């Protein structure tokens, strides 16, 4: 029975919980067994809180903690994983940093409290790079997370633990966060589904960057419908976050169940000239036939953006100054090089350089707004390159272009971050080495309902959601194209 339970979609599991066919304790037991079986190979959920989860399950089964039972996003006792950047009361929360190796918070983050109020049961913390900064999931506290499709490869970052755990069947839903692609690239690398919501859709709660739209919280799952369910559990106004706004009257799950196909879809093989693996481009272009099958007119376009990399690095650097300047002053020797680089870039840039970045962001937003006057949906590859060596911080090169820093592999997703648009990553195929390849679907700001509906229609045509969960597979690192 346990093996059958881990293969249920989240929505199927919630339906069975609601009917009383299974209990939350059944799902916790199934997850515990699966975690014990696959965790040694992937290291996705290094911190578990199973007794805390069972206590929550018993309260739900006794009729307690069910105030939100009739609200959208009710999870009915479904186990979930929380990224190890977010506090869960009484559970070790390290942020992937040796500075917080033994940190156990007394209170949960507002988003965790919201998820638990909606009947989600936290069973563990998913691995993340230090402070969520990195294109590969590793840290000095818990080590490396490996990709279940090929354990020689990375699941990307920074929600790599969540994506690997989903693909391997350890969990049904995973919480994550996204700045430059941290929900979207791991979903692509592990052939699951990740959503970066519009800024303000989901509370960020306690961050210092409350007035910045760059970093958001969001859902990851194995199907688009499951992502919609989890977004319903997360979305809504929060007094702790000034950017948040009320959830829509129609639930996101309803939008997926009654989908309206996009009329015009634009495909761009890259944004702003960012290098993209050649085979990835071919696979993604071929996958556009599924949109044509649902009745959409598909056109290939070019999205030209001036100084994309400089714009993103300037704004990201400023955010790192806000988040990490004081830690560099007091504990520089314990912080990894990528974070120091990001923070010092922000400290060293001039006011004029930061202003140039803001003007660049405004120009990019206007470019996207112009495209959305013509197209209902923009589609790009989900990542610049497929999964790479788990022992590397970032790919050596993409399509023959050597990378100077780890963010060079995130510019497709980073461009969409700057546009303030919601973006959905979902599977579209596999390359010649068996590595998952995905699409990035982009809708106008606050257009999550239409975005998820389009994703659900695509997913039904592609059939790729049926490929997970999988047992972990050992493998080798493929050669890097164009590099001797």
* DSSP structural state of residue 147: B
Helix (H, G, I), strand (E, B) or coil at 373: coil
Q: Which of 83, 118, 125, 144 is catalytic?
A: 83
Q: Which of 97, 158, 274, 421 is catalytic?
A: 158
Q: Which of 257-262's residues contact partners 24+ apart within 8 Å by CB, and which partners?
A: 257/225, 258/453, 259/453, 259/454, 259/456, 259/457, 260/450, 260/453, 261/294, 261/295, 261/296, 261/453, 261/454, 261/457, 262/291, 262/296, 262/375, 262/376, 262/377, 262/450, 262/454
Distance of CA 207 to the CA centre of its chain: 18
Active site residue 126: no
CA-based radius of gyration for the chain: 21
Q: Which of 97, 126, 136, 182 is catalytic?
A: 182
Helix (H, G, I), strand (E, B) or coil at 212: coil
Helix (H, G, I), strand (E, B) or coil at 423: strand
Active site residue 466: no
Separation of alpha carbons 122 and 364, rounded Å: 38
Taking Cα atoms as reference points, which of 178, 125, 204 lies closest to residue 382?
A: 178
Asked if 78 and 10 count as a contact pair (C-beta separation under 8 A), the reply is yes
Q: Which residues are catalytic?
A: 83, 158, 182
């Amino acid at each position: 029975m346990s093996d059958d339970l881990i293969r249920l979609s989240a929505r199927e599991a919630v339906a069975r919980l609601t009917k009383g066919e299974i209990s939350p304790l059944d799902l916790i037991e199934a997850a515990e067994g699966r975690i014990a079986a696959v965790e040694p190979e992937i290291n996705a959920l290094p911190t578990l809180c199973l007794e805390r989860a069972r206590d929550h399950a018993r309260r739900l089964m006794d009729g307690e903690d069910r105030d939100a039972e009739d609200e959208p996003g009710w999870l009915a006792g479904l186990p979930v994983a929380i990224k190890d950047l977010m506090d869960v009361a009484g559970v070790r929360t390290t942020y992937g940093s040796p500075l917080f190796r033994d940190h156990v918070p007394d209170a949960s983050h507002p988003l965790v409290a919201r998820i638990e109020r909606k009947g989600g049961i936290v069973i563990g913390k998913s691995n993340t790079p230090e402070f969520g900064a990195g294109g590969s999931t590793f840290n000095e506290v818990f080590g490396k997370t490996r990709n279940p499709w090929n354990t020689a490869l990375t699941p990307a970052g920074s929600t790599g633990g969540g994506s690997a755990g989903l693909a391997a069947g350890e969990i049904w839903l995973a919480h994550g966060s996204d700045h430059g692609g941290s929900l979207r690239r791991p979903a692509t690398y592990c052939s699951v589904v990740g959503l970066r919501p519009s800024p303000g859709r989901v509370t960020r709660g306690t961050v210092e960057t409350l007035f910045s739209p760059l970093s958001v919280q969001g859902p990851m799952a194995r199907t688009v419908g499951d992502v919609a369910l989890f977004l319903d559990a997360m979305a809504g106004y929060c007094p702790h976050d000034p950017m948040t706004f009320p959830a829509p009257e129609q639930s996101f799950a309803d939008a997926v169940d009654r989908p309206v196909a996009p009329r015009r879809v634009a495909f761009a093989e890259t944004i702003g000239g960012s290098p993209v693996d050649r085979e990835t481009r071919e696979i993604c272009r071929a996958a556009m036939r599924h949109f044509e099958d649902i009745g959409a007119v598909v056109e290939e376009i070019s999205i030209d953006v001036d100084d994309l990399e400089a714009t993103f690095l300037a704004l990201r650097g400023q955010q790192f100054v806000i988040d990490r300047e004081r830690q560099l002053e007091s504990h520089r020797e314990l912080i990894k090089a990528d974070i120091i680089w990001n923070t010092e870039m922000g400290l060293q840039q001039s006011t004029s350089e930061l202003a140039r970045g803001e003007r660049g962001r405004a120009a990019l937003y206007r470019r996207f707004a112009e495209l959305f006057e013509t197209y209902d949906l923009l589609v790009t590859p989900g990542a610049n390159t497929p999964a790479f060596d788990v022992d590397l911080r970032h790919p050596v090169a993409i399509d023959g272009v050597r990378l100077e820093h780890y963010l060079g592999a995130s510019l497709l997703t980073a461009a969409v971050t700057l546009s303030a648009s919601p973006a959905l990553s979902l599977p579209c195929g596999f390359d010649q080495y068996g590595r998952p390849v995905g699409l990035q679907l982009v809708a106008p700001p606050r257009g999550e309902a239409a975005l998820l509906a389009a994703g659900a229609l695509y997913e039904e045509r592609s059939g790729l959601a049926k490929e997970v969960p999988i047992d972990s597979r050992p493998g080798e690192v493929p050669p890097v194209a164009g590099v001797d």
